[in-house]
């Protein structure tokens, strides 16, 4: 059974940092592109970033470029999102998702981890 389990969320002050993790199981992580999608409380979905199977290509939404870094460790079946210089508008549930290729919609989603940026 495919499972994606996010962790690392929490309360952080503006300007602070957090590192989200996603533990993947039930499939071979190295065969898939992976991405992060977020959802602010009571709002819609926003695609944040994705990463190629070997980590050689990464893409970001403009609002996080230069502040967030997506990475992966296929040997340990893990996806990461390093978030720096956090802002109030980054407050959201962050979902880890799996896609077959870059140009493919996410077919599996984790349950999400909540990041709250507030003083």
Residues that bind another protein (CB under 8 A): 35, 44-47, 50, 59-62, 95, 103-107, 109-112
**Measured from the CB atom, is 17 or 63 closer to another protein?**
63
**Measured from the CB atom, is 78 or 112 closer to another protein?**
112
Q: Could you tell me the smallest distance in angstroms from the CB atom of residue 84 to another protein? A: 19
**Measured from the CB atom, is 75 or 103 closer to another protein?**
103
Q: Following DSSP, what letter does each residue of 53-98 receive, concatenated?
A: TTS--EEE-GGGTTTEEEEEEGGGTEEEEEE-S--GGG-EEEEEEE
Judge whether 104 and 33 are in contact, CB under 8 Å. yes
């Amino acid at each position: 059974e495919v499972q994606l389990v996010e962790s690392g969320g929490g309360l952080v002050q503006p300007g602070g940092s957090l590192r989200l993790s996603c533990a993947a199981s039930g499939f071979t992580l190295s065969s898939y592109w992976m991405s992060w999608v977020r959802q602010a409380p009571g709002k819609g979905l926003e695609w944040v970033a994705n990463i190629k199977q070997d980590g050689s290509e990464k893409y970001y939404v403009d609002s996080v470029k230069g502040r967030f870094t997506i990475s992966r460790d296929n040997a340990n079946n893990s996806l990461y999102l390093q978030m720096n210089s956090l802002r109030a508008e980054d407050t959201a549930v962050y979902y880890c998702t799996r896609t077959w290729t870059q140009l493919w919609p996410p077919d599996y989603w984790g349950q999400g981890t909540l990041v709250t940026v507030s003083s």
